[in-house]
């Protein structure tokens, strides 16, 4: 099973490198959305520092949504997804490999870029560290939960809108606790409770989201 997981991961990363425009589109969208807020609100540093956690988290959430539609659609069109249903390894394990590859090419760049954008909005060093940690915990959850919605909407017309309607309500707890941790740190309060809740959500997502995604793929392929 480990060999199958590594093969899926290497395959999807190779395909992502060949479609680098999709990766750059997600990253540029994230940078542009965050950079527009200082232009629209004004240069007041106190105001920017106050809204920075919510702005960065909402921008990361929307940017991650852009890449979800392509998570399974390519394999669905070329028939690779049907072959994954026939292999002896558990489909949930293969799905986990695909989601991990998706996070490495879409979520990890957002995590690396976020501290730079946080500096632009006036966040302190301690708040930037908390921001980085919350995004490390929260962006994998968005990929795992988003994979369930992407699997359920395979082959449907207008799937982008339907995918957003299915997934966005499930992202709300991650958004609340992620932005809340950064705000608590910037205010001098402890962010430990928010971080613990994000960690618990990540553990639940890792345990149950691949299984739910595999079941959704089987439903969509019937």
Which band of pLDDT confidence, cut at 50, 70 and 90, is reported for residue 218? confident
Which residues touch 143 (CB under 8 Å, ≥6 apart)?
Answer: 64, 68, 99, 102, 103, 106, 107
Question: pTM of the entire structure?
Answer: 0.87
The region, left, alpha or beta by phi > 0 then psi within -120 to 50, assigned to residue 123 is beta
The total of structural domains in the chain comes to: 1
d(CA 134, CA 182): 8
Domain span including residue 23: 2-221
Taking only the tens place, the pLDDT of each residue in 89-143 is 888 888 898 899 889 888 888 899 888 888 888 888 888 888 899 999 999 999 9
**CA-CA-CA-CA dihedral for 70, 73, 78, 83, to nearest 10:** 110
Of 88, 72, 92, 98, the C-alpha closest to 215 is 92
Mean pLDDT of the chain: 84
Taking only the tens place, the pLDDT of each residue in 12-30 is 888 887 777 777 888 889 9
d(CA 121, CA 64): 21
């Amino acid at each position: 099973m480990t060999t199958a997981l590594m093969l899926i991961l290497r395959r999807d990363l190779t395909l992502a490198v060949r479609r680098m425009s999709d990766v750059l589109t997600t990253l540029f969208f994230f940078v542009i959305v965050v950079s527009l807020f200082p232009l629209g609100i004004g240069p007041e540093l106190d105001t920017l520092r106050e809204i920075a956690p919510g702005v960065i988290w909402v921008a990361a959430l929307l940017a991650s949504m852009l890449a979800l539609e392509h998570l399974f659609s390519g394999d669905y069109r070329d028939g690779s997804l049907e072959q994954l249903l026939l292999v002896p390894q558990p489909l949930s394990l293969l799905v986990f490999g695909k989601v991990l590859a998706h996070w490495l090419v879409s979520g990890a760049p957002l995590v690396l870029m976020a501290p730079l954008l946080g500096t632009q909005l006036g966040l302190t060093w301690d708040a930037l560290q908390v921001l980085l940690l919350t995004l490390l915990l929260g962006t994998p959850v968005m990929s795992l939960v988003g994979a369930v919605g992407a699997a359920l909407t395979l082959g449907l017309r207008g799937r982008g809108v339907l995918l957003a309607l299915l997934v966005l309500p499930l992202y709300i707890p991650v958004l609340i606790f992620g932005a809340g941790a950064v705000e608590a740190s910037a205010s001098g309060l402890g962010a430990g409770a928010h971080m613990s809740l994000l960690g618990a959500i990540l553990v639940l997502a890792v345990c149950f989201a691949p299984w739910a995604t595999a079941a959704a793929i089987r439903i969509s392929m019937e």
